[in-house]
Structure 1
Amino acid sequence: MATKHLAHWATSLTPSSIPASVQLAALRSLYNYVGCAIGGSNHGTVAKAYDALSPFFGPATSTLYGRGGEHEGSKVDAQHAALLNGIASHVHDYDDTHLATIIHPTGPVASAVLAYAEYHATTTSSPVSGEETLCALTAGIEASCKIGLAVWPQHYDIGWHITSSTGSVGAAVAVGKLLKLTEDQMAHAIGIASVQVVGLREMFGSDTKSFHPGRAAQSGLLAALLAQKGYTSSPQALEAKRGWANVVAGGGTPQLDKYVGELGSKWEIEANAFKPYPCGIVCHPVIDGCIQLHHEMVAKSLKVEDVQSIEARVHPLVIELTSKRTPRDGLEGKFSVFHGGAVGLLYGKAGPAQYADNVVADLAVISLRDQIEATPDEQLAADETYLTVHFADGSKLEKHVQHAVGSLEVPMSDAQLTEKFVDQAALVLGKDGAQRASDAAWKIGQAEDIVKVLQAL
């Protein structure tokens, strides 16, 4: 009975029962999320959603990160805050990744948890602590990743965007923790969330991709609130013959009992990785290698203008997911291994600025992009690549990336996460504001009142 087991585990989880290493992983995941939500807050995709929905906003209780305390519309109702912050957190494709499933788990869960926590504190004068917030976040991320593992890879292969199709359940579990739902209520919340399946891979490269985690956050919050008031669902919502897992598994055999049975003994949040580049994670080995080659070219006084061709041997998923040869804008550029490799080799970096629309349309980038050929190699790991750059004089440079930066083998350090946070948040808040937000976000776990931290964001 996977639904009941998940509900029991989630309602029983306490901060003291979470190992220190897991608490640290939760803090790092939340910190990274905050930076991504601020960094994406002024993106056109978020602006369009805000403008479309603003006539329907309710009482302003929950912060939209990056808009500033004095900014008009810096707070909205919790449901729309969950949606809009979820969109902002994912729009640059810079958020965390559970590498075993390619789920970006924190966006849906944190967007719902923080929106509700602020609503709760505002309407009840009863603060939610950072410790409670991280406990709820951990429960939600574990729920998302465990049910994701149960249907991986068939679920993803047939076209579901697994971040959002599991995210509504994770968000419901997390908000349910803050609501202090009973075990039965939590089971109903899981069921209500499970019917709100959202996200198709067909939408990658469009505004709707980032809508997925935002909508999952909103759906999970809704599910927990309904369950609190006695709204019912099937008590076997996940595992029933016509329940979530069997319906979305794509003809595969779900392994819910195996993975849900691991809750509390194997923590998926510790396998959560962070992106050094704001694009599809399968591109990262090529970008990493091209950045290294850029620095070698500089050291050897080799010019990009003399590059004749670039060969890349890559994992087959790179071709399947990021083979857009001629991206039309920054969103499509995130799904172009050719663009990622080109900016890495040309600029020696691949941050949000290198995925701006004008850079995607830059003639020098296009010229270099056209010289890259990517060949799938099933013998390679997902975070591995072999690169060869050929020059007009017949010389060449080679690079083997065994594990890309941001993988579990080469994880980003706290210092690198901080640099990433400040770099993207500075585009919205300015350098000083970004640094203040970073300092505040690192202290979330120690906060007695989470609202005081959120107001600094």
Structure 2
Amino acid sequence: MSATRTLAQFIADTDFENLPPAVVEAAKIAILDGVANMAAGSVQELADIIGRYVRDAGGSPQASVVGWGYKTNPPAAAFANGVFGHCLDYEIQGFPPTHGTSSCLPSALALAEHHHIPGERVITAYVLGWEIQGRLRAASAPATAPAYHPPGLVGPMGGAAASAKTLGLDADQTLMSLGIAASRTGGLTANTGTMVKSTHPGNAARMGAEAAILAGMGYTASDVALESPVGYAAALFGGEFDWDTATGGLGASWRLLDPGFDIKRFPAQVYMQNAIEAALNLREQNGLAVADIEQVTIHRRGRGHSGPVPRSGLDGKFSVEYCAAAAILDGQVGIDTFTDARRFSPDMEEMLGRMRVEPEGPESGATLATAALKDGTTISAECSAFRGSASNPMSRDQRLEKVRDCFQRALSEADTERVLEMLENLEHVDDVSQLMSVLGQAAARG
């Protein structure tokens, strides 16, 4: 059996009853985090452009655009909600890094709303989307050109897997979905730090939904799209692809559990998490006063994508210097840290001049923050596994603190609690449109 058909058969054959309870619980944690990101993302500056663009383009009112008070066709809703879900860079992150939630979940939710699908199938669709996307990412990681942003390469396949499962497609239709999605890949790392980055998962969700809809209507594609000599692996990875990682042991283990995922404590790139926590530890453990600082050095592996002078608040999510400076100045790093107002404030401009990165980093792999003080003394603190990482998990209360903050940027307190109740019991929700009717309400905008 071909690799493409093997994956398609697995997707078609796997139902909610086949999922171990631990996988279901992990999926619900991830889905809750992802939906909260969509809600908070829906009121960001770039979401204002996307929300108006999708609304003005028109479409059959079948699926809700989160936080906007209107419906459109499922692929368009999946695109908007995928952008919202990724724009904060706050969603969970798998290993190797790729944004499986914002590529898979928006398409499953949009199609489930339109077709009145129960929550347990959305859970199954999400698990399968995450699984396929993660396997393809792991199989291709050594050969992935750094100029490609990974969710643009593997996200459409994850979105197609989740969408095919949501629609209940058979193995042959799912095979065609994967073949269609394989021709919808791309996304440039050059756009990291700009609004375009969040369209990579958004496009993956849209293309995944469209691929499954077309396949369900009888549209055809190659049945060997992944392994063909002129197919996916050959075109994108020069044929350097670990097929056993992609297709071996399907159903014997699940990537949501092994290797698991990190829950981001801070709304910034995953590589910034240890640096932020190390800087917070430096401040908190030493009673550090900003006025006493001569220079702060962050010792880590690599300098970060955006460098010492980010072009915007959004770009600051990828700057070690900016993230650490915000932690030291404010004693916290949250959604509002990454606005242009905070980025270009006088104290931040001054503090950035005192920040340095030492890119060799400790041999332990920990991130070390060191401050040279004006009195000649030196203090330091480190972080090796940020709170929320797979090796240092958040408690339920800590997770709920994060998601409540996200939800309440777009929803009332009462609606936040309604959504939390449904998502924590998603397998018992008979019709996902009940959930989306709450999430789709127009949020207050400044």
- The TM-score range, normalised by the shorter chain, is over 0.9
Q: How does 1:334-373 map to 2 (within 5 A)?
A: 334-373=317-356
For 1:387, the equivalent position in structure 2 comes to 369
Indicate the SS of the match to 1:238: coil
For 1:241, the equivalent position in structure 2 comes to 229
Q: Partner letter of residue 7 of structure 2? A: L
Query: By how many angstroms is 1:431 displaced?
Result: 4.2
Query: By how many angstroms is 1:430 displaced?
Result: 4.4
Q: Partner letter of residue 89 of structure 1? A: G
Equivalents in 2 of 1:8, 1:119: separation in Å? Answer: 25
Q: Among 367, 371, 377, which residue is 2:360 paired with?
A: 377
Q: How does 1:57-206 map to 2 (within 5 A)?
A: 57-67=58-68, 71=69, 73=70, 75-98=71-94, 100-121=95-116, 128-155=117-144, 157-206=145-194
For 1:266, the equivalent position in structure 2 comes to 253
Query: By how many angstroms is 1:35 displaced?
Result: 0.4
For 2:36, the equivalent position in structure 1 comes to 35
Indicate the SS of the match to 2:438: coil
What CA deviation, in whole Å up to 9, does each residue of 1:201-236 have, x standing for no partner? 111111110111111101011111111122111111
Equivalents in 2 of 1:183, 1:381: separation in Å? Answer: 46
Is the 8 Å Cα contact of residues 8 and 183 (structure 1) preserved in structure 2? yes
Indicate the SS of the match to 1:394: coil
Query: By how many angstroms is 1:443 displaced?
Result: 2.4
Equivalents in 1 of 2:149, 2:256: separation in Å? Answer: 19
What CA deviation, in whole Å up to 9, does each residue of 1:230-283 have, x standing for no partner? 21111111112221122111x472102333213212211221221111111101
Query: By how many angstroms is 1:380 displaced?
Result: 4.5
For 2:26, the equivalent position in structure 1 comes to 25
Equivalents in 1 of 2:277, 2:322: separation in Å? Answer: 13
For 1:402, the equivalent position in structure 2 comes to 384
For 2:442, the equivalent position in structure 1 comes to none
Q: Unmatched 5+ residue regions in structure 2? A: 440-446
For 1:307, the equivalent position in structure 2 comes to 293
Q: Among 294, 319, 343, which residue is 2:283 paired with?
A: 294
Equivalents in 1 of 2:280, 2:49: separation in Å? Answer: 34
Equivalents in 2 of 1:381, 1:231: separation in Å? Answer: 52
Over 3 Å counting, the alpha-carbon distance change for 1:3 and 1:140 in structure 2 is: same
Equivalents in 2 of 1:211, 1:381: separation in Å? Answer: 35
Aligned length: 436
Over 3 Å counting, the alpha-carbon distance change for 1:378 and 1:312 in structure 2 is: closer
Is the 8 Å Cα contact of residues 444 and 453 (structure 1) preserved in structure 2? no
Indicate the SS of the match to 2:379: strand
Equivalents in 1 of 2:97, 2:170: separation in Å? Answer: 31
Is the 8 Å Cα contact of residues 440 and 456 (structure 1) preserved in structure 2? no
Indicate the SS of the match to 1:210: helix
Equivalents in 2 of 1:431, 1:372: separation in Å? Answer: 39
Over 3 Å counting, the alpha-carbon distance change for 1:241 and 1:267 in structure 2 is: same
Q: Partner letter of residue 167 of structure 1? A: G
Q: Percent identity?
A: 27
Q: How does 1:429-448 map to 2 (within 5 A)?
A: 429-448=411-430
Stretches of 4+ aligned residues off by more than 6 angstroms: none
Indicate the SS of the match to 1:428: coil
Is the 8 Å Cα contact of residues 104 and 155 (structure 2) preserved in structure 1? yes
Q: Among 254, 264, 270, which residue is 1:281 paired with?
A: 270
Equivalents in 1 of 2:272, 2:17: separation in Å? Answer: 39
RMSD of Structure 2 on Structure 1 (CA)? 1.7
For 1:256, the equivalent position in structure 2 comes to 243
Is the 8 Å Cα contact of residues 323 and 338 (structure 1) preserved in structure 2? no
What CA deviation, in whole Å up to 9, does each residue of 1:19-43 have, x standing for no partner? 1111111111110000000000011
Over 3 Å counting, the alpha-carbon distance change for 1:379 and 1:263 in structure 2 is: farther
Q: Unmatched 5+ residue regions in structure 1? A: 122-127
For 1:124, the equivalent position in structure 2 comes to none
For 1:231, the equivalent position in structure 2 comes to 219
Equivalents in 2 of 1:160, 1:266: separation in Å? Answer: 28
Indicate the SS of the match to 1:188: helix
Equivalents in 2 of 1:306, 1:184: separation in Å? Answer: 66
Equivalents in 2 of 1:36, 1:403: separation in Å? Answer: 22
Query: By how many angstroms is 1:45 displaced?
Result: 1.1
Query: By how many angstroms is 1:350 displaced?
Result: 0.7
Equivalents in 2 of 1:252, 1:4: separation in Å? Answer: 18
Equivalents in 1 of 2:142, 2:364: separation in Å? Answer: 16
Equivalents in 2 of 1:292, 1:436: separation in Å? Answer: 35
Relative to the length of structure 2, the TM-score reads 0.94
Is the 8 Å Cα contact of residues 8 and 174 (structure 2) preserved in structure 1? yes
What CA deviation, in whole Å up to 9, does each residue of 1:65-124 have, x standing for no partner? 233xxx4x2x222121101000000111111111x2211101111000000011112xxx
Query: By how many angstroms is 1:432 displaced?
Result: 4.4
Is the 8 Å Cα contact of residues 135 and 245 (structure 2) preserved in structure 1? no
